Structure 1
Amino acid sequence: MDTPRRKLRNLHMENVQNSSTPINVPPSPMLKTLGHGTGIRVYRLDRSPRLGEIRSPWAVKRITQNMRVKKDTLFNERIVHEADILRKLKHPNIVGFRGVVTNDEGINTLALEMCTTSLGSILEERHDEDLGPLPAKNTYKMIMDVALALDFLHNEARLMHGDLKSFNVLVKGEFEICKLCDFGVSLPLDEHGEVNFLKNPGLRYVGTSLWCAPEVIDEVDVIDSKAEIFSFGLVIYETLALVPPHTLELDAALGEDMDNSHDLPTDTEKLQRKQLDFSSDERKNGLPTAMEEHTDNDMSHDDDDEEEEEEEEDDDTKENDISDFTLNNLHSAYGTRPPLPVAFQLSDDYNCIVELFYLCTNALSEDRPAAKTIWQCLENNAANVATGSD
C-alpha cells in the first residue's frame, strides 16, 4: 500500500495512553484486513477528519470470527494483556498504543499506531522477486532501531518481548524508522534480568519455535534477555537469506530445488510464506501473531471473513500435516545457528551484519552481546556503515 513519505513527527499521544480512550471501531466487515495470525486479525481503521484536521489511520487488532464462534477466550484476553503492556511503553522504536475498547459482546479491540509494512513482508517480496539480501543500509537501520527497543525493554521496562521475528518488526516509509510490535506474550524480567520459571510456574515462553534460543527449546528453568538476542540474530539472518531460519537447510534435506518448482509449492515454501508455528507440544497454545500488512483493496463481509478463515484453517491443516520427516527436520534445527545461504555474494558492506549474526546466535547465552552493546557498537562505528544499494 502507498503511504505518504513525510518526516516523522512526535505525535504527543499522552492524552490517549489510558483505557478510557474513546474509540469508535466499525464491525470487521467494514474494515480492510492488513494481516492475521492464529486467532487474530489486524485491520486498517481510517479515522474521520476532525475540525478540518486529517488524522492518520490506525491499525486495530481483534480476535477472528472463528474464535468468537468457538468462544475461545485466550486470544481475546491477550489483547487486554498487550494493551496493559503497551500503555506503559513509550519509546520511538515500539509501536504506539492508541487505545483499547470492549464491545457489548465482550470482544476486545486494540488500536495501534499504523506503520507502512513489516520487515517480514519486505523480505518475502524481495525473495519472490529475486532481489537479493536487504540493502545493508536498511539492515543497519533495522538493527540499530530494534537494538534500541530491546535495550529499553530489557533494562528499563524489565520485559522480554517474547516473540521476536521479522513479522513483528514494523517499518515506516523507506526505513525511516523500525518499531517492535505484538507484545501479547511478553514476559516480565525480575531484578536479576531473568525469568525464573520455577519461582513463577504460571509463566511460559511462547514465542515461535523457528526463532527460539537453545535454552528456550531445552526448557531450562531460568532464562534471561540473552535468549531474545538469539532471536534477534535470526532476524538479522532473515535479512540475508530472505527466508525464515532453518527453512533453507530443510529444503536441502528434502532434496528439493525451490527455483525449479513453481506450480506446486514445496514444503519449505509453505513454511516461508505462511510463517507457520511448528511449536513443541508444551508451547502449542502460543500466539504467533503477525502485524504484517498485505495489500488488499477489497472490502470484506462477515460471511466472506468466515469463509476465508475456514479456508485458512483448511490450508493450515494441510500444511501442518506435511510429513513426519519434514517436522522432524524442523524440530532438530530449533535453537541452532542456521548456515548462511551460499547463493548470494555479499559485499564488504555486510561484514559487520554477518559478524553480528554470528555473535547473537552463539550457543551459550553469556557469549551473546547485550542489546545496548549492539547499538553502541553501531553508533561508534557509524562512519563505517555502508550506504548500500538495491
Structure 2
Amino acid sequence: MDTPRRKLRNLHMENVQNSSTPIRVPPSPMLKTLGHGTGVSVYRLDRSPRLGQIRSPWAVKRITQSMRVRKDTLFNARIVHEADILRKLKHPNIVGFRGVVTNDEGVNTLALEMCTTSLGSILEERHDEDLGPLPAKNTFKMIMDVALALDFLHNEARLLHGDLKSFNVLVKGEFEICKLCDFGVALPLDEQGEINFPKNPGLRYVGTSLWCAPEVIDDMDIIDSKADIFSFGLVIYETLALVPPHTLELDAALGEELDSSHDLSTETEKMQRKQLDFSADESKGGPVEMDEQTDNDMSTEVIDDDEEEEEEEEVDEDEDDTKENDIKENDISDFTLNNLHSAYGTRPPLPVAFQLSDDYNCIVELFYLCTNALSEDRPAAKTIWQCLENNAANVATGSD
C-alpha cells in the first residue's frame, strides 16, 4: 500500500481527531494479540464496516491485566503521554495516531495505525529459521526510513525517542515503508538539541539498557540526540546478528559456542527481553512529566461484570509469565549478569558465523559510525539519510 500524499494524510488525521464517532474497544480477550512490552500489550482491533465501506484495522495498546490488578499507574500514564506526543507528530515514517480512550476503571487505550509486523519479529523469525542477515536492500530501506523519522523527531519535533530498538520499528508489507513507534518515554530536547537533567529534574531517561548509549549508561548530566543514533546503530547490528545486542556475549558467558549456528536459546532470549526493563533502573528510570489532556469527543467501552471470567484468563497468563521469567532470571548467575551489564553502552562484536557480501559494506560502516563511543563522532540522522540518498543516486547513474 502506498503512503498517502501529505495533503491527504493530514486531512485524514484531522478527520480522525475531530470525529465525534466514539472509539469502541472490546475487552482484551476478544482482541487478537500482536505483541507484548514491559507492562503493556498490543492488540489488533478489526473495525466493523461503516456505510458499506471496509475500514482498516487499528493496533490498540493498553496496560496488561496484571498491571491493572497491581494498580500500577506508571505504564498507564505513559500511554497518555505517548498519545499526547503522537497527536502532534505527522510524518510518513512515524506511526499514525488514531485516538485515545479511558474506561470507567481509568485504564487508557491508545489506538494506532496498523502495520504488518515489527522489525524485531522479522529478525526473530529469520533467526529461528537460520536464514542469515536481513537482505541488504531491506536493511537499506529500514535505515533510510528510520533516519528520516529521527531527523524529523530531533530537528522539527525536538524530541529524543529514548527507546529505539528493533521492536519499535514497524514494517508495512514487504518493506514498502518502515515507521517508528512507541513514544511513551520520549524526552524533549532544548534549543541546543540537548537534555540537561540537573536543570530539568523531572525528566528521566527510561531506555532499554541493551540498546542504551554509553553516556546514558554512565549517567551523564547532559545527553543529546546522538543517544538515539547509538541505539539506531544497535538496531542495524540486529539486522546482521538477528539477536539483541550483547546477547551473543551472554551466550559466551554461558559457555555456548559462538560459531555453532549462533544459537541463542529461546529461554535465555525470553529472559533477556523481560530483563531489559529492570536494568534500566541503573540509569535514569521513571516517568516523564506531562501535561494533562483529555479527549472529550471520544467515549469508552465499559467491561461488564459477565466478562470478568475472560479477563481472569489474561490475569493467569500474565502471572504465569512473570513467575516463569523470575525463575529464568534466577537460573543465571550473578557473574554472568555482571558480564552482561559491563557490555551495556559498548559496540558489540559482529557474529563470525555469517559471511557478508559486498552489498553489506555500507551497512557495516554505518553500524560502526553510529556506535562510536563519543556522541560527537556519531553522524546526525540527516547525514545518514542524505548519504544513502546520494549513494542511491550514484548507483543509478553509474558514478563511483
TM tier, shorter chain? 0.7 to 0.9
Q: Structure 1 residue 22: deviation in Å?
A: 2.3
Decide whether the 8 Å contact of 1:168 with 1:181 is kept in 2.
yes
The alpha-carbon distance between structure 1 residues 337 and 9, as it changes in their structure 2 partners (threshold 3 A), is: same
> How far did 1:118 drift?
0.2
Distance 1:258 1:46, change over 3 A: farther
Higher Cα Rg: structure 1 or 2?
A: 2
Does the C-alpha gap of structure 1 residues 186 and 93 become closer, same or farther in structure 2, counting only changes over 3 Å?
same
The answer to whether the Cα contact below 8 Å between 2:248 and 2:264 also exists between their aligned partners in 1 is no
CA 1:304/1:194 → structure 2, altered by over 3 Å: closer, same or farther? farther
The percentage of counterpart residues that share the same residue type is 91
Q: Deviations over 1:324-377 (max 9, x none)?
A: 122101100000000001100000000000000000000000000000000000
CA contact (8 A) 1:97 1:111 kept: yes
Quote the residue 1:8 is aligned against: 8
Structure 2 unaligned blocks of 5 or more: 325-329
- Cα distance in 1 for partners of 2:144, 2:20 equals 34
> Following the alignment from structure 2 to structure 1, what is the Cα–Cα distance between the partners of residues 397 and 311?
42
Comparing 251-260 and 134-143, the one that deviates more: 251-260
Q: 2:310 aligns with which of 298, 308, 311?
A: 308
Indicate how the Cα distance of structure 1 residues 317 and 329 shifts in structure 2: closer, same or farther if over 3 A, else same.
farther
Query: Do the aligned residues in 1 keep the contact of 2:22 with 2:297 (CA within 8 Å)?
Result: no
How has the CA–CA distance of structure 1 residues 299 and 333 changed in structure 2, closer, same or farther, with 3 Å as cutoff? farther
1:53 shift after superposition: 0.8
Between the aligned partners of 2:93 and 2:245, the Cα distance in structure 1 is 24
Query: Could you tell which deviates more after superposition, 214-223 or 3-12?
Result: 3-12
CA contact (8 A) 2:203 2:288 kept: no
TM-fit CA distance, 1:261: 11
Deviates more, 1:270-279 or 1:159-168: 270-279
Tell me how far 1:254 sits from its aligned partner: 2.1
Q: 1:274 to 1:4 in 2, by over 3 A?
A: farther
In the alignment, the residues of structure 2 paired with residue 293 and residue 124 of structure 1 have an alpha-carbon distance, to the nearest angstrom, of 38
- Aligned to 2:279, what secondary structure does the other structure show? coil
Instruction: Find the counterpart in structure 2 of residue 211 from structure 1.
Output: 211
1:37-70 Cα offsets, whole Å, 9 max, x none, are: 1211111100011111110000001111111111
1:256 is displaced (CA, Å) by: 1.2
C-alpha distance 274-206 of structure 1, shift in aligned 2 (>3 A): closer
Superposed CA deviations along residues 201-236 of structure 1, whole A, max 9, x for unmatched, are 111100100000000000000000001100000000
Alpha-carbon RMSD: 6.4
Q: Structure 1 residues 245, 99: closer, same or farther in 2, change over 3 A?
A: same
Q: 1:211, 1:334 within 8 Å by CA — same for their partners in 2?
A: yes
Q: SS state of the match for residue 11, structure 2?
A: coil
Counterpart of 2:327 in structure 1 is none
Classify 1:70/1:3 alpha carbon distance in 2 versus 1 (closer, same or farther; 3 Å): farther
With over 3 angstroms needed to count, the CA separation of the structure-2 counterparts of 1:5 and 1:293, relative to structure 1, is farther
Q: Deviations over 1:145-179 (max 9, x none)?
A: 00000000000000011100000000000000000
TM-score, length-normalised on structure 2? 0.84
1:327 and 1:109 map into 2 onto residues whose CA distance is: 35
Distance 2:10 2:19 in 1: 21
2:95–2:179 CA contact under 8 A, matched in 1: yes
State the SS of the aligned residue for 1:182: coil
Q: SS of the counterpart of 1:157?
A: coil
Change (3 A) 1:187 1:327: same
| Residues 94 and 181, structure 1, Cα contact 8 Å, conserved in 2 | yes
SS of match in other structure, 1:260? coil
Structure 1: 5+ residue stretches without partners:
none
**Aligned residue-pair number:** 388
| 5 and 292 in structure 1: CA distance in 2 versus 1, 3 angstrom threshold | farther
C-alpha distance 170-232 of structure 1, shift in aligned 2 (>3 A): same
CA separation of 1:199 and 1:96: change in aligned 2, threshold 3 A:
same
Question: Which is worse superposed, 169-178 or 102-111?
Answer: 102-111
The C-alpha deviation readout for 1:229-262, integer Å capped at 9, x for no partner, is 0000000000000000011122123211378799
Deviations 1:302-342 (Å, cap 9, x if unpaired)?
99999999999666656765221221011000000000011
Give the deviation of 1:277 after TM superposition. 3.1
170 and 263 in structure 1: CA distance in 2 versus 1, 3 angstrom threshold = closer
How high is the TM-score relative to the length of structure 1? Answer: 0.86
Cα 1:295–1:59 shift into 2, 3 Å: farther
Per the TM alignment, residue 276 of structure 1 is displaced from its structure 2 partner at its CA by 3.6
Structure 1 residue 274 displacement after superposition: 5.3
Cα distance 1:3–1:129, how it changes in 2: closer, same or farther (>3 A)? Answer: farther
SS at match of 1:143: helix
Between stretches 268-277 and 373-382, larger displacement belongs to 268-277
Higher mean Cα deviation, 277-286 or 312-321?
312-321
Deviates more, 1:309-318 or 1:334-343: 309-318
1:121-158: CA deviation from partner (whole Å, max 9, x where unpaired): 00000000000000000000000000000000000000
CA 1:385–1:34: 2 relative to 1, 3 Å: farther
Change (3 A) 1:5 1:342: farther
Q: Per-residue deviation at 1:12?
A: 2.2
Q: Report SS of the residue matched to 1:292.
A: coil
Query: Aligned-pair distance for 1:84?
Result: 0.2
Shift of the alpha carbon at 1:192?
Answer: 0.6
| CA distance, structure 2, for counterparts of residue 296 and residue 132 of structure 1 | 46
